[in-house]
Structure 1
Amino acid sequence: MVTPTQSRRLRGGALARSQALTPAVSTRTYSVWLAQLLLAGIIIILVLMAQALAPQATTSWTFTAGISIIIVTTAATLAVPWDRLPDRLVLVVPLVDIAAIGLLTIDPLLSVGSLWLFPVVWIATYFGRVAIVSGLSLITACIVVRDYAILGQPGPTMRLVVTLLSFGFISLFMHTSASQNRAFRQLLSRQADKLADTVDRTSRQEREGSRLLDAVDVGVVRLSPRGEIVYANERYRALYGLDVGDPAARARAVEYDGFRGRPLAPERQPLARVVGGERFVDERIWLFDQNGDWHALSLSARDLTDVAEGSATLLVVHDITDVIRAESDRQTLAARVSHELRNPLTAVLGYSEMLSDDTTEDRTRDRAEAINTAAERMMRMIGELLLAPAEQAAAPVRQTTNLGQICADAVAAFDPAARLAGVVLRLDTAEAVIVDGDAFRLRQVVDNLVSNALKYTLKGGRVRVAATHDGDTATLVVSDSGVGMTQSEVQRIFEPYFRSDSARASTTQGTGLGMGIVQSIIAEHGGTIAVQSEPGAGTKVTVTLPARPDRGEPDRVGGPSSDVAAADDDR
């Protein structure tokens, strides 16, 4: 991963190298100056040597003309703005140099034909084949003129052939090499542009990733194999009091093993454990920050793979202080409410038992026993609220249970309420439906479903409860002719605190927790639940449970119930 600092260094280094290699003038002007000044320097050396070794050669007009042409051409080269002129005009300079060197070769005392190498290389490097042929043709003309001036007759001499072959080979070689160099430079330029784009894109993605991580309310820190903090987002720095400019600096917060407990030993601190190779999920610690506040933290460490710098570790820190406090407040509230409900329920139980013992009428005794049974069930529920969360999540007590009898008891318990509401409550179970389950929990399921059906069925409507057995499957169906729900509301019926529009518009009170409780109990028993409903056409809830293959003889289902249910609503 390329950091923003590395990206800036790469761009800065490339810019510095570019500025160092780029002349103050254009590339074309610079190349023209370099080639012509090099030839002019050689000519100056030639003049000095001729004055010392062959002064008589410097008196000829051809020598003077050739030297003068090169000097004038060099001066003009330095004065002309070549970057504003077409490329073909630059070719005039080496051609003029070839002609000037040809004048110098006319004097037999001067063997300067090798100087043609400079303009030939220039033409082969920067121009095409037509220019090369033009230059070689001009050299041929100069050799022919020289031979005519010296020998008195032109003709194909060995010197001409050797010169043309040599310069032709050099021209071809230099032209090919220059073409390859230009192609290589273009390739390097494109690769450099791609590399710069990749660096910029990587840096931009890293900055975007850093901004995204800084926006989340979760601490994230990346550690190198040596335990150094490579990156820490804003939330982690705020929790641990790290310096923004130096995330590897010492944290100003202290980690504890519990609220107001003991500070963690250096080897038990999360970062030290990660460096030691330990990986963990949802590790709980307490943090005392630099502002004097306590934070409950949940930490998880995992390995990162396929990263450019090698292996690394990601430490994710969740601040769960509000969750811990909310859970503590919930348990406190549940304990207080449950404790306060015990007193009136104890009185209800006492007086219902006294009423059952004192009365001689069967009907009054049945009603007193129903009150007593319902109060006992409520006392058990209150007792479960006071249990620790681990005890509340214990598996249901499994035993041989007659689901048909549970349905019959529930229908009998709700029958008085159904009569008062003008709703026909019907039981269609006529066989023993034996399941392996918790009778208390299954009764909660039936009570919740029947209660919901009665609440949202208008006067004159019907509610049907049926329990059947088919092989290894027991089926419970509770259907009604009530107000019903839309398909989108059916999909959300198991969400906590959700109530349909018709439920909120009615005067029926509820919290929207009942169906969630039902779904949880059914899942604990390895069953399934399905809901079908249409607005104005009622609702049908189907529950399937694993059944015992040995059902035994059918039990009698029906008769008065000794239980009264209190259930929540979800519609």
Structure 2
Amino acid sequence: MFAGAALAVLGVASLSAPELWVRPWVPAAVGLIALATLIALGSGRLGSRLAPASLPLVPVLDLLAVVVLHADAEIPRNVGLLACFPAFWLGFSQRRRGLVITAIAGLVLGAGMALRIPSTEGVVLTANSVGAVLIPVSLIGAAWLAQRYTEHLERQQAALLQREQERGALLQQHAADGILLDAIFETVRIGLVLIDASGKVERINPTLRDHPAMQGSGARAAMLDATFLELESRRPIRRPETPFVRAARGESFDNDVVWAQRPGQDLIAITVSSRPLMVDGDFRGSIVAVDDVTSYMRMLEDRDEFVALVSHELRTPLTSIGGYLELVLDEELPEHVVGWLHTMRRNTARLRALVEDLLIVGEMARGELRLEVERIDLRELAQDAVALLAHRARRRGVRLELVDGPSAWADGDPRRIAQVIENLISNGIKYTRDDGSVQVVVTDDRDGPTIAVSDDGIGMEPEEAARVFERFFRSAEARASGVQGAGLGLWICSMISQAHGGSLRFTSRRGVGSTATFSLPAAAQR
């Protein structure tokens, strides 16, 4: 480009002054330009060796050609602007060194023009005066801008390269994480299911895919035609509340135990956990863990059957013992013997109550709980329970109170509902402090009647309160207090509540007290 521009300028100048080619300065400058051009157009290998050399030969020759041209007094002064081309090249390729070379060339050109100022006048004087400043400044400015632009480009390239390296490292890490997750997904010994945001099963690992319960159809189809049952009552779970539908909604839950059954297959017990997959705050699906706990649940059933068998065998002799104790107590006996017999009767009654609870547990576990439903007034049942347990409260100095209110009608088995109310009030009396209080509140609204039993007793921690409906569970405080109990009462109450379509809730605070709330559906209109 520089050679073309220089030849064009010289061609135009020679039209008005052909004698330029006779003087030695112009042919010498053209020779330098030609030499620089030949070097630039030379082989790539030669050029690659010269470009990074200690002296930037091509642009230096171009600058030298401009200086030689300026040695001719007849050459127009603005020809010096041609030096901007090599100045930019030097600033771009040689940075500070190129800037120094350009500054030297610019000062030489400026000095040459300044030396001609005394011998010129008019327009030529003005051209030399302006050129003495403009040419050096223009050349230095071009080289400086080229240097700055090059440094800016290098910084951008370095930043891009770093980002590309980081992106490559991130992609490698993602690939390694993907391989690791795939290995875990395929080798873990519990069933794993990947569900997308629409609820579609995307992936099932071999542990679940090869399970015997999955045989006979594809794993995805097998999961769709399965029926899920509640663990204790074995009632069908409504589809919106089944584990996989909940997981598809993005719910997070741990160790939900249910029965699963497919047509033509035996029941299996599974424990299900789910976690939603969130990416940048967006729900992308869920990962569901499924574990077969059938053998464990069958073992619990065997235990329940054994307990039920033993309890059934114990009920008859305990009834006989109790009867004979009543007969003996009717006789005239020494006072200390009567005291022993009363102790025997109390412990026999306690043992009979425990046996009855164990028999009820067996019935409920086998789904054999039978209800004789009729229209009942929950407040009336609460009044009877309070009257029945008032003497126990008085013995401990506990204030037992039924808050006044209207009747609360429901449909239920009066014997079973009374059992729930009595158990809740009995627990309140047992676990409150001496001289404490137990309050019974019966309410009725459009959702149905509710009875709440509150005490100001020892209470318990929230994590213990969440387990009170488990069979045989007793809080650490209850065990340490020496209060008698087997941890079955609230479980039985919960099962009775579920059988009636109701609910039973329990809240507690350590050192403040507890509240059990029993709700039933509203009575049907008659």
Q: Does the Cα contact within 8 Å between 2:201 and 2:220 map onto a contact in 1?
A: no
Runs of 5+ consecutive residues of structure 2 not aligned to the other structure: 366-381, 401-421, 439-454, 458-471, 492-505, 515-526
Alignment of 1:367-446 (within 5 A): 371=344, 373-388=346-361, 399-402=389-392, 433-434=397-398, 436=400
**Within 5 A, what are the aligned runs for 1:296-315?**
296-299=269-272, 307-308=279-280, 310-314=282-286
Partner SS, residue 390 of structure 2: strand
Matched residues in 2 for 1:475 and 1:114: separation?
100
2:54 counterpart of 1:89: yes
Q: 1:522 to 1:355 in 2, by over 3 A?
A: closer
Give 3-state SS (helix, strand or coil) of 1:227's partner: coil
For the residues of structure 2 that align with 1:332 and 1:513, how far apart are their CA atoms? 30
Q: 1:310 to 1:343 in 2, by over 3 A?
A: same
Structure 1: where are the runs of 5+ without partners?
1-37, 243-247, 406-431, 447-466, 477-495, 499-511, 531-543, 547-571
Select which of 50, 61, 67 maps to 2:34: 67
TM-aligned CA deviation for residue 341 of structure 1 = 2.2
**1:141 and 1:196 mapped to 2: Cα distance?**
51
**Deviation for aligned residue 1:385:** 0.1
Looking at structure 2, the residues matched to 240 and 251 of structure 1 have their Cα atoms a distance apart, in angstroms, of: 14
Match among 138, 143, 148 for residue 176 of structure 1: 148
Aligned partners of 2:168 and 2:59: how far apart in 1? 39
Shift of residue 441, structure 1, vs aligned partner = 6.9
Matched-pair contact (CA < 8 Å) for 2:276–2:286: yes
Aligned partner of 2:227 among 245, 248, 257:
257
Matches within 5 A, 1:110-121: 116-121=83-88
Provide Cα deviations, 1:342-392, integer angstroms capped at 9, x if missing partner: 3443554465566667x6654767656654554343223211101137979
Corresponding letter in the other structure for 1:98? L
1:394-543 → structure 2 map (5 Å cutoff): 399-402=389-392, 433-434=397-398, 436=400
1:537-556 alignment runs, 5 A limit: none
Distance 1:103 1:293 in 2: 104
**In the alignment, which of 331, 345, 352 is matched to residue 304 of structure 2?**
331
Distance across 1 between alignment mates of 2:129 and 2:456: 117
Match of 1:420 in 2: none
Q: CA deviation at 1:264?
A: 11
Distance change in 2, residues 1:439/1:237 (3 Å):
closer
The answer to whether the aligner puts 1:286 opposite 2:260 as a matched pair is yes
- 1:339, CA displacement in angstroms? 2.0
Q: Distance in 2 between matches of 1:516 and 1:238?
A: 50
> Scaled by the length of structure 1, what TM-score is found?
0.48
Whole-angstrom distance in 1 between the partners of 2:142 and 2:28? 31
Which amino acid in 1 is paired with 2:160? L
Per the alignment, do residues 132 and 383 of structure 1 end up closer, same or farther by CA in structure 2, a change over 3 Å counting?
Answer: same
Q: Judging changes above 3 Å, is the alpha-carbon distance between structure 1 residues 81 and 198 closer, same or farther for their aligned structure 2 residues?
A: same
Deviation, 1:438, is 6.9
For structure 1, which segment, 60-69 or 332-341, has the greater mean C-alpha deviation from structure 2 after superposition? 60-69
Q: Give distance in 1, aligned partners of 2:510 and 2:112.
A: 111
CA distance in 2, matches of 1:201, 1:39: 51
Question: Aligned residues: percent identity?
Answer: 16
State the SS of the aligned residue for 1:226: coil
Partner letter of residue 260 of structure 2? W
Relative to structure 1, the CA distance from residue 96 to residue 285 in structure 2 (aligned partners, 3 Å threshold; closer, same or farther) is farther
**What letter is aligned with 2:60?**
L
1:552-563 to structure 2, matched below 5 A, reads none
Change in Cα spacing, 1:230 to 1:145, as seen in structure 2 (3 Å) is farther
In the superposition, the TM-score normalised over structure 2's length comes to: 0.51
Q: How far does residue 340 in structure 1 lie from its aligned partner after superposition?
A: 2.5
2:313 to 308, 323, 340: 340
Matches within 5 A, 1:136-215: 136-138=103-105, 141=108, 156=128, 163-196=135-168
Q: Find the residue that maps to 2:391 and give its secondary structure.
A: strand
Structure possessing the higher relative contact order (Cα contacts under 8 Å, 6 or more residues apart):
1
Distance 1:349 1:523, change over 3 A: closer
Q: How does 1:100-115 map to 2 (within 5 A)?
A: 100=65, 102=67
Separation of aligned partners in 2, 1:197 and 1:296:
45
TM superposition shift of 1:141: 4.0
Q: 1:134 aligns with which of 79, 95, 101?
A: 101
| CA distance in structure 2 between the partners assigned to 1:366 and 1:62 by the alignment | 137
CA distance in 2, matches of 1:148, 1:526: 104
> How many corresponding residue pairs?
399
